[in-house]
Amino acid sequence: MDYKLLAVDIDGTLVSSQYTLTKSVKRALAEIKNKGVFLTLATGRFYGSASAIAKEVGINVPMIANDGAQIQDVYTGELIHFRPLDIEIAREIVKNLGDYPLELQVFLKNCKIFGGRNYRMVQLKKFLRRRRILNFRGVYNYLRDFGAGPVINAGSNMGVLKYITEPPVKLVLSGKPEVMEEFRRVLEERFSGMVSTTSAIKNYMDILAPGVSKAYGLEILTRYLDISRNQIVAVGDNYNDLEMIEYAGLGVAMGNAPDAVKEKADFITDSNDNDGLVKVISVFFNGISGTKLKSAGIEHSI
């Protein structure tokens, strides 16, 4: 197959567990772009958090951000597609949070609303819990991507309501597993068919407009680029990558992906800490033969 688009998740796929890009990954991506292949990132991250790394790897088509709800040119700022949550549904979900002890973030097109007093302090505490495993570059990348950017501190989850004055791209909840599961049941009972949910991080839940996923974003992008889904290679590592892995002509799971994701993939590559993405490019864009798949660290999963 003559693949024309490589769609890559960021966390757990493109970057290592230290939040760094290896030289091998950068070189491999540059090589396929020189061959005329389209490159995009398909991420659950907030657009502002993902745009810096998108520019660093030099994507050459619009980026899929917010799990497919926002497709935007990172160089010109042109908004290609935008499908937010209905504003009244978003407000009702926040009201239903009530006294649930869950952390809330509301992603808008250009900023975040945080249901707490100090978003950056919360991010700093999360960073400090894992600082020993990050090198200097990883520290910089983490703070740039997750600590910077425009944020409104609402003081409390209910305080968020007065700042939701436009349809949000998505709501992000996090907390203890048992509390998350209890609130998931609330969503299913009261908002069935009104929202979609997914997850990219353990004990987190993203709430989006119905039907929105990375696969949805890829479908929009294929029409924009005038290519078919069979010409896409999609690579990811987590549950919010499932739909796009199944949608693409070739869906690849990282070696660090959960078993449920690997089971849906056409191929399984190495981990993000062992240049799994480079091996995907070597096999499917640089013509390594099928007999060399295992030596390249890739397994057929069908």
User: For residue 119, what pLDDT band results from cuts at 50, 70 and 90?
Assistant: confident
Q: Across all residues in the chain, what is the average pLDDT?
A: 91
Which has the minimum average pLDDT: 123-127, 169-173, 287-291?
Answer: 287-291
For 21-35, the pLDDT digits (tens) are 999 999 999 999 999
Residue 295: phi and psi, rounded to 5, are -70, -25
Higher pLDDT, 6 or 148: 6
Between residues 292 and 123, the one the model is more confident about: 123
CB neighbourhood size of 121 (10 A): 12
Who has greater pLDDT, 295 or 154?
154
Determine contact, residues 62/224, Cβ cutoff 8 Å: yes
Residue 300 has pLDDT above 70, yes or no: no
Distances (CA, A) of 265 to 140, 189, 233, 236: 33, 31, 11, 9
- Does the pLDDT value for residue 292 go beyond 70? no
Q: Distance between CA 225 and CA 60 in Å, rounded?
A: 11
What pLDDT does residue 189 have? 94
**Residue 72 scores a pLDDT above 60:** yes
Query: What CA–CA distance (Å, rounded) separates 176 from 82?
Result: 31
What confidence tens digit (pLDDT) does each residue in 168-209 have? Answer: 999 999 999 999 999 999 999 999 999 999 988 888 999 999
Claim: this prediction has a pTM higher than 0.85: yes
Question: What is the band of 289 on the pLDDT scale with cuts at 50, 70, 90?
Answer: very low
N residues, the chain: 302
Confidence (pLDDT) at 290: 46
Mean pLDDT of 152-166: 96
According to CATH, the topology of domain 87-208 is 3.30.1240
Residue 291 has pLDDT above 50, yes or no: no
pLDDT in tens, 228-261: 999 999 999 999 999 999 999 999 999 999 999 9
The values of phi and psi at residue 104, to 5°, are -120, 130
Kindly state the percentage of the chain with pLDDT values over 70: 91
Structural tokens at position 244: 């796009």
Cα 180 to Cα 100, 174, 250, distances in angstroms:
9, 7, 33
Superfamily of domain 5-82+213-300 in the CATH hierarchy: HAD superfamily/HAD-like (3.40.50.1000)
Give the start-to-end residue ranges of the domains of the chain. Answer: 5-82+213-300, 87-208
Q: What's the CA gap between 29 and 103, in Å, rounded?
A: 36
pLDDT value at residue 146: 72
What pLDDT is recorded for position 19?
A: 87
Widest Cα–Cα separation across the chain? 60
